[in-house]
């Protein structure tokens, strides 16, 4: 699961913008079942959003939780951040919105979906979850990596 929480000024994004951004964000995670990717847009009024002690009406804060996969190499972290910048630039930088983001990585073992522990990456069950785009029960051996 990557869960993206996007805190933004009121009316910064239209419904179409939000859908397009969510689709772009989901595309970054092509190796995962699509239903793993969640994006929450949270409007924050100027009187509730302060940067440096000053009201902010031009600032977007993005908080990403990664659980399904973690980055093991520094080079992958850099590539990910560059890809995010490219994908979101039309909605942020090109609109003169200041923004920042961070990514938290939670251990895979502390995650469940609908009461099920997700199958391991590249397992038979994960391939099925990706194909079906939903969580389903699986036999013990199906949750281990294929091979």
pLDDT in tens, 53-90: 999 999 999 999 999 999 999 999 999 999 999 999 99
Show the low-confidence residues of the chain (pLDDT under 50).
none
Kindly report the length of the chain. 147
- Model confidence, pTM: 0.92
For residue 49, the model assigns a pLDDT of 95
Measured between alpha carbons, how far is 111 from 52 in angstroms, rounded to an integer? 35
> Could you tell me which of 28, 23, 85 has the C-alpha nearest to residue 60?
85
Mean of the per-residue pLDDT values for the chain? 94
For residue 147, the model assigns a pLDDT of 59
For residue 82, the model assigns a pLDDT of 96
* Domains of the chain listed by start with CATH number: 2-111 (3.30.429.10), 112-147 (no CATH)
Q: Are 84 and 90 in contact (CB under 8 A)?
A: no
């Amino acid at each position: 699961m990557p869960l993206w929480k996007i805190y933004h000024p009121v009316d910064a994004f239209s419904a179409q913008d939000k859908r397009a951004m969510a689709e772009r964000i989901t595309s970054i995670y092509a190796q995962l079942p699509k239903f793993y990717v969640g994006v929450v847009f949270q409007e924050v009024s100027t009187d509730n959003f302060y940067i440096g002690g000053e009201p902010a009406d031009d600032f977007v804060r993005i908080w990403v939780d990664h659980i399904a996969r973690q980055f093991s190499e520094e080079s992958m972290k850099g590539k990910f951040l560059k890809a995010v910048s490219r994908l979101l630039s039309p909605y942020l930088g090109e609109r003169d919105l200041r923004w920042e983001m961070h990514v938290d990585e939670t251990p895979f073992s502390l995650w469940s979906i609908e009461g099920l522990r997700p199958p391991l990456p590249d397992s038979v069950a994960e391939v099925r979850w990706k194909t079906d785009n939903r969580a389903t029960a699986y036999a013990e051996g199906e949750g281990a990596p294929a091979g």
